[in-house]
């Protein structure tokens, strides 16, 4: 039977970061990926963050296939007719060392896969890992779907992404995945010439921006719409909590169509030709939905471990860092008595010390909070835009009176007491 | 028996776009794959090896990245893989390419006589279908194109019997060995490779032969050896949409006479 020291399931950022770290340290490691190349199955929006990526791949941006450096992030709060917009642009983001890039994961992951192979790991694509092999209560390898497909390993890292069948099968995620822990994201890639993109979004040549859209963008459901600028395409999509879609009996595709036709969005997309359409899940359950992260001979990283910070649209960076920390845990314990469960619990400690679990802990109540307080996606965007409209309409009404009127509008929709409560709670879960 | 398969790395044409402004193919960032017909050629060679015994050697001319398609051939079951790569090969057209491949096959033949060369019927990027027959001509091998099935190889008689795919028929032909086949997809179903084969392929670094190893005449390779020049690549003009004649259900007689008027104008029919 084939044998490796470490087997990794999944060649997304988590699995590749783990493989790269292990291979560089001389460990015999094999990565199994079901797609025909790394990233083939991925559709991340996608913004890739420079600093965490460099933790694994120093200087990657000099050779990796990237779309545009993100120099501006915008937030649009939509109602049916209006858009309240907010943004931050910095010249510091336009040059080295950069902050973030838009990417196509199918290209980036493929490149990353090559780096992993150059580092000495074996990357086996078009091969599904169907099961873990157990002996005497510990994991001793994996079973792939290929003829003669069993492989022995001393340790296995599950980096299988959000649809974490093996993690669940191993009993690490009790109760399976729930609809309130998952968002459905749909995304379209629309082709538009470079110059048009730069013109419409007010960008200098080669630079990029991101727009996140709230409120009416998701028909008031918990979630977010997005528009990202690539080289000669736009990525446009929405991500909405699955439980909300189910409750409202809506199809995510209709939500996206609705967003694309919003009066403030439409003109940015006019004439762009659809190139591809994709749908995917995002784990949005946060801290409370994190499975047990280790077992005997077993570690879980990335989306499989539900390590996504939905509030900040961060996922790939948590995947990269958790993959790296999983690998470093293995490197530490391999000389100290091996890959048994107690030793592997150090992985959790490492994650606790890093931003990964600190951030997720900080926001641990947000999913539940927004799930139970839909007014933040429905009422408040409307109130905000009513207030803005009132304030900006020049009609010879004295400003003081305008302010009074705005306050009246607001309190007629939500009592002062409730407002105070909402603000206080929002501060508590986000602050 | 010694089977040699020629494989080519091609851009995945399902992902190639035509630039709306320059009207040229946008190849940037387009992933490369093994030319689909060549994958079937490798599969057939491996099946013939399994049937008659022998050895399968896969060769590819291309840049260093073309190693990937040779790994693919190894995973299907090729025993040996050789990349023909040299800066001076860049820009080779079908004439130069068939020359380089033929030189490599000559060398392989000296090491171990070649029974059969297999190629795909054409490459999906250039669609010329010339390289296979070109190699056969240079080597003096029997060219058998559009092969759909290999019925029999009779090594004693030095003969091969194949079925060729014609427009609306099959043709059974016998030819003298050594021969060169170009195959169509229907010749076989690609196997789902066993894991140990995949691992062996991933671990193997294909051998590399350069111009010096092949004893090629530098005037006959690369741009210098390529009389073909591509003038222009363009997307075929979109066919104009048809015209609907309205009112067919409400007033069929009127719609019909409208149609007749239109057809008369186009001179497709005549009013005699
Ligand atoms: C629409 C969308 C937009 C997003 N935007 C952003 C963004 O802008 N920024 C950001 O940081 N994050 C973003 N994310 C999140 C980010 O994509 C994920 O957090 C990240 O990809 C997780 O990496 P991973 O390696 O854990 O999992 P994945 O990237 O999902 O990789 C898992 C891999 O494992 C393979 N696999 C699964 N099971 C098996 C098996 N049994 N055998 C073999 N292979 C298997 C899969 O094919 C896949 O390639 C977005 C996600 C979506 C869906």
Q: How far apart are CA B215 and CA B221, in angstroms?
A: 11
Q: Residue B10 has what DSSP assignment?
A: E
- pLDDT band at residue A356, thresholds of 50, 70 and 90? very high
Best mutation site among A146, A190, A276 for testing chain B: the one with the most B CBs within 10 Å?
A146
A116 CB near a chain B CB, below 8 Å? Answer: no
Contact A365, A429 (CB under 8 A): yes
A104 CB near a chain B CB, below 8 Å? Answer: yes
Question: What average pLDDT does chain A have?
Answer: 93
Quick one: three-class SS letters along chain A?
CEEEEEEEECCCHHHHHHHHHHHHCCCCEEEECCCCCCCCCCCCCCEEEHHHHHHHCCCHHHCCCCCEEEEEEEEEEECCCCEEEEEEECHHHHCCCCCEEECCHHHHHHHHHHHHHHCCCEEECCCCEEEEEEECCEEEEEEECCCCCEEEEEEEEECCCCCCHHHHHCCCCCCCCCHHHEEEEEEEEEECCHHHHHHHCCCCCCCEEEEEEEEHHHCCCCEEEEEEECCCEEEEEEEEEHHHHHHHCCCHHHHHHHHHCCHHHHHHHCCCEEEEEEEEEEECCHHHHCCCCEECCEEECHHHHCCCEHHHCECHHHHHHHHHHHHHHHHHHHCCCCCCHHHHCHHHHHHHHCHHHHHHHHCCCHHHHHHHCHHHCCHHHHHHHHHHHHHHCCCCCCHHHHHHHHHHHHHHHCCHHHHHHHHHHHHHHHC
Q: How far apart are CA B81 and CA B68, in angstroms?
A: 11
Q: What is the pLDDT at residue B15?
A: 67
- Select from A110, A127, A275 the Cβ nearest to the Cβ of B31: A110
Residue A122 with chain B: CB contacts under 8 Å: 199, 202-203
CA angle in degrees (0–180, nearest 5) for A8-A14-A15: 20
The answer as to whether A76 is a domain residue is no
**Same-domain check for residues A35 and A60:** yes
The last residue of a domain, from among A283, A316, A351: A283
Tally of helices (H runs) and strands (E runs) in chain B:
7, 13
**Same-domain check for residues A223 and A292:** no
Which residues are CB-contacts of A416 (< 8 A; sequence separation ≥ 6)? none
**Same-domain check for residues A266 and A324:** no
Residue A117 with chain B: CB contacts under 8 Å: 202
Q: What is the mean pLDDT of residues A402-419?
A: 90
The last residue of a domain, from among A364, A390, A407: A364
**Same-domain check for residues A272 and A290:** no
Q: Please work out whether the CB of residue A245 comes within 6 Å of at least one atom of ligand 1.
A: no
**Same-domain check for residues A131 and A162:** yes
Q: How far apart are CA A52 and CA A189, in angstroms?
A: 26
Cβ neighbours around B181 below 10 Å, total: 31
Contact A294, A341 (CB under 8 A): yes
Q: Residue B217 has what DSSP assignment?
A: -
CATH at residue A327? 3.50.50.60
Given a cut of 90, whether residue B21 has pLDDT beyond it is no
Test A149 with B193 for CB contact under 8 angstroms. no
- pLDDT band at residue B20, thresholds of 50, 70 and 90? low
**Same-domain check for residues A34 and A140:** yes
CA angle in degrees (0–180, nearest 5) for A13-B13-B86: 85
**Which is nearest to A21 in space by CA: A396, A327, A232, A368?**
A327
To the nearest whole Å, the CA of A211 is away from the closest chain B CA by: 25
Determine if the peptide bond prior to A341 is cis (ω within 30°): no
- pLDDT band at residue A44, thresholds of 50, 70 and 90? low
Q: How far apart are CA A173 and CA A88, in angstroms?
A: 39
Test A147 with B192 for CB contact under 8 angstroms. yes
The answer as to whether A421 is a domain residue is yes
Contact A44, A106 (CB under 8 A): no
Structure tokens at A65: 């296939």
Contact A110, A37 (CB under 8 A): yes
Test B195 with A30 for CB contact under 8 angstroms. no
The answer as to whether A77 is a domain residue is no
Structure tokens at B171: 């043709």
B-side interface with A, Cβ within 8 Å?
17, 20-21, 29, 31, 192-196, 198-199, 202-203
**Same-domain check for residues A314 and A260:** no
A47 CA distance to ligand 1 middle (Å) = 13
Give bridge partners of residue B7 from the DSSP assignment: none
Q: What is the mean pLDDT of residues A113-139?
A: 96
Q: How far apart are CA B132 and CA B126, in angstroms?
A: 13
Q: What is the mean pLDDT of residues A47-55?
A: 96
The answer as to whether A170 is a domain residue is yes
The last residue of a domain, from among A364, A385, A413: A364
Residue of B nearest to A143 (CA): B195
Map tokens 């090491």 to a residue: B111
**Same-domain check for residues A273 and A290:** no
The answer as to whether A173 is a domain residue is yes
**Same-domain check for residues A346 and A388:** no
Given a cut of 80, whether residue B30 has pLDDT beyond it is no
Domain boundaries, chain B: 2-220, 244-272
To the nearest whole Å, the CA of A240 is away from the closest chain B CA by: 29
pLDDT digits (tens, 9 = 90+) for B110-167: 999 999 999 999 988 877 889 999 999 999 999 999 999 999 999 999 999 999 999 8
Structure tokens at A64: 């990796």
Q: Residue B191 has what DSSP assignment?
A: -
The answer as to whether A91 is a domain residue is no
What does the CA dihedral A39, A42, A43, A48 come to, rounded to 10 degrees?
Answer: -60
Contact A198, A305 (CB under 8 A): no
For residue B44, give Cα distances in angstroms to A410, B113, B247, B257: 75, 19, 57, 59
A32 CA distance to ligand 1 middle (Å) = 14
Q: What is the mean pLDDT of residues A233-256?
A: 93
Structure tokens at A343: 């030793």
**Same-domain check for residues A330 and A275:** no
Contact A282, A182 (CB under 8 A): yes
Query: What is the reported pTM?
Result: 0.85
Exposure on the CB side of residue B227, measured as CA atoms within 13 A? 1
Total domains, chain A: 3
Test B192 with A146 for CB contact under 8 angstroms. yes
Check residues A312 and B233 and name the one with the higher pLDDT.
Answer: A312
Q: What is the pLDDT at residue A46?
A: 87
Residue B55 — φ and ψ, nearest 5°? -150, 145
Q: What is the pLDDT at residue B25?
A: 63
Residue A124 — φ and ψ, nearest 5°? -115, 115
The answer as to whether A94 is a domain residue is no
Question: What average pLDDT does chain B have?
Answer: 90
ipTM > 0.95, yes or no: no
Determine if the peptide bond prior to A97 is cis (ω within 30°): yes
Given a cut of 90, whether residue A73 has pLDDT beyond it is yes
Q: What is the pLDDT at residue A335?
A: 80
Residue B202 with chain A: CB contacts under 8 Å: 117, 122-124
Given a cut of 80, whether residue B23 has pLDDT beyond it is no
Q: What is the pLDDT at residue B19?
A: 66
Contact A47, A99 (CB under 8 A): no
Best mutation site among A31, A120, A125, A127 for testing chain B: the one with the most B CBs within 10 Å?
A127
Q: What is the mean pLDDT of residues B242-271?
A: 86
For residue A127, give Cα distances in angstroms to A30, A121, A386, B35, B195: 12, 16, 54, 21, 8
Considering the segment(s) B2-220 as one domain, its CATH architecture is 3-Layer(aba) Sandwich (3.40)
Residue of A nearest to B17 (CA): A275
Given a cut of 80, whether residue A42 has pLDDT beyond it is no
To the nearest whole Å, the CA of A2 is away from the closest chain B CA by: 7
Report helix, strand or coil for B148: strand
Best mutation site among B198, B200, B238 for testing chain A: the one with the most A CBs within 10 Å?
B198
Residue A430 — φ and ψ, nearest 5°? -100, -30
Q: How far apart are CA A263 and CA B245, in angstroms?
A: 35
Q: Please work out whether the CB of residue A210 comes within 6 Å of at least one atom of ligand 1.
A: no
CA angle in degrees (0–180, nearest 5) for A96-A98-A103: 125
Q: What is the pLDDT at residue B8?
A: 94
Strand B116-120 relative to strand B179-183, pairing: parallel
Given a cut of 70, whether residue A24 has pLDDT beyond it is yes
Q: What is the mean pLDDT of residues A50-55?
A: 96
The answer as to whether A84 is a domain residue is no
Strand B142-154 relative to strand B159-165, pairing: antiparallel
Site to probe by mutation for ligand 1, drawn from A160, A213, A327 as the one with most ligand atoms within 8 Å of Cβ, is: A160
pLDDT digits (tens, 9 = 90+) for A279-331: 999 999 999 999 999 999 999 999 999 999 988 889 999 999 999 999 999 99
Report the first-to-last Cα separation within chain B, whole angstroms: 71
CATH at residue A203? 3.30.9.90
Q: What is the pLDDT at residue B159?
A: 97
Q: Please work out whether the CB of residue A211 comes within 6 Å of at least one atom of ligand 1.
A: no
Q: Please work out whether the CB of residue A315 comes within 6 Å of at least one atom of ligand 1.
A: yes
Given a cut of 90, whether residue B91 has pLDDT beyond it is no
Q: Tell me the residue range of the domain where A383 lies.
A: 368-430
Site to probe by mutation for ligand 1, drawn from A303, A307, A312, A355 as the one with most ligand atoms within 8 Å of Cβ, is: A303
């Amino acid at each position: 039977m084939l044998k490796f020291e470490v087997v990794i399931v999944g060649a997304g950022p988590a699995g590749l970061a783990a493989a790269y770290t292990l291979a560089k340290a001389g460990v015999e490691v094999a990565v199994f990926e079901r797609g025909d190349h790394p990233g083939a199955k991925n559709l991340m929006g996608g913004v890739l963050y420079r600093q965490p990526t460099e933790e694994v791949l120093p200087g990657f941006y000099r050779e990796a296939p990237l779309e545009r450096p993100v120099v501006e992030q915008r937030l649009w709060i939509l109602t049916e007719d209006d858009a309240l917009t907010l943004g931050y642009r910095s010249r510091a983001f336009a040059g080295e060392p950069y902050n973030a890039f838009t990417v196509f994961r199918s290209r980036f992951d493929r490149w990353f896969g090559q780096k992993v192979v150059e580092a000495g790991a074996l990357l086996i694509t078009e091969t599904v890992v169907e099961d873990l092999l157990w002996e005497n209560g510990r994991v001793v390898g994996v079973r792939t779907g290929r003829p003669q497909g069993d492989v022995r390993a001393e340790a296995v890292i599950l980096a299988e992404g959000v649809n974490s069948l093996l993690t669940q099968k191993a009993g690490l995620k009790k109760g399976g995945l729930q609809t309130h822990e998952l968002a459905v994201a749909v995304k379209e890639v629309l082709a538009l010439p470079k110059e048009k993109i730069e013109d419409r979004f007010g960008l200098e040549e080669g630079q990029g921006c991101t727009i996140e859209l709230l409120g009416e963008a998701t028909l008031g459901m918990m979630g977010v719409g997005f528009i990202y600028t690539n080289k000669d395409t736009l990525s446009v999509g929405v991500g909405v909590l699955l439980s909300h879609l189910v409750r409202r009996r809506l199809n995510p595709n209709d939500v996206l169509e609705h967003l694309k036709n919003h009066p403030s969005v439409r003109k940015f997309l006019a004439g762009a030709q659809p190139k591809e359409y994709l749908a995917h899940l995002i784990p949005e359950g946060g801290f409370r939905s994190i499975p047990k992260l280790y077992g005997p001979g077993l570690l879980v990283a990335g989306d499989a471990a539900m390590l996504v910070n939905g509030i900040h649209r961060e996922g790939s960076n948590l995947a990269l860092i958790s993959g790296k920390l999983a690998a470093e845990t293995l490197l530490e314990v391999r000389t100290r008595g091996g890959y048994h469960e107690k030793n592997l619990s150090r992985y959790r400690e490492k994650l606790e010390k890093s931003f990964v679990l600190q951030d997720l802990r900080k926001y641990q109540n947000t999913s539940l909070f927004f799930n139970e307080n839909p007014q933040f996606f429905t009422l408040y965007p409307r109130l905000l835009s009513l207030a803005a409209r009132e304030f900006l309409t020049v009609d010879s009404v004295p400003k003081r009176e305008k302010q009074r009127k705005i306050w009246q509008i607001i309190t007629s929709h939500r009592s002062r007491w409730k407002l105070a409560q909402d603000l206080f709670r929002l501060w508590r879960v986000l602050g | 028996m010694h089977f040699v398969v020629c494989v080519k790395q091609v851009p995945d044409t399902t992902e190639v776009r035509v630039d709306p402004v320059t009207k040229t193919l946008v190849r940037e960032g387009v992933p490369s794959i093994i030319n689909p017909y060549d994958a079937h050629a490798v599969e057939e060679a491996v099946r013939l090896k399994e049937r008659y015994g022998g050895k399968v050697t896969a060769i590819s001319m291309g840049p260093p990245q073309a190693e990937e398609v040779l790994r693919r051939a190894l995973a299907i079951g090729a025993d040996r893989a050789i990349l023909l790569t040299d800066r001076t090969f860049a820009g080779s057209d079908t004439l130069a390419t068939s020359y380089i491949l033929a030189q490599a096959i000559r060398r392989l033949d000296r090491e171990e006589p070649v029974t059969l060369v297999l190629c795909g019927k054409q490459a999906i990027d250039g669609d010329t279908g010339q390289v296979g027959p070109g190699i056969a001509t240079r080597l003096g091998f029997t060219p058998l194109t559009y092969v759909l099935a290999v019925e029999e190889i009779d090594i004693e008689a030095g003969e091969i019997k194949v079925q060729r795919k014609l427009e609306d028929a099959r043709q059974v032909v016998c030819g003298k060995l050594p021969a060169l086949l170009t195959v169509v997809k229907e010749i076989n179903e690609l196997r789902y490779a066993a894991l140990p084969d995949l691992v062996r392929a991933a671990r193997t670094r294909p051998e590399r032969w350069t111009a010096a190893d092949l004893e090629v005449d530098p005037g006959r390779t690369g741009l210098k050896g390529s009389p073909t020049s591509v003038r222009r690549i363009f997307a075929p003009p979109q066919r104009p949409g048809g015209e609907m004649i309205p009112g067919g259900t409400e007033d069929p007689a009127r719609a019909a006479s409208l149609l007749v008027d239109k057809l008369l104008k186009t001179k497709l029919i005549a009013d005699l």
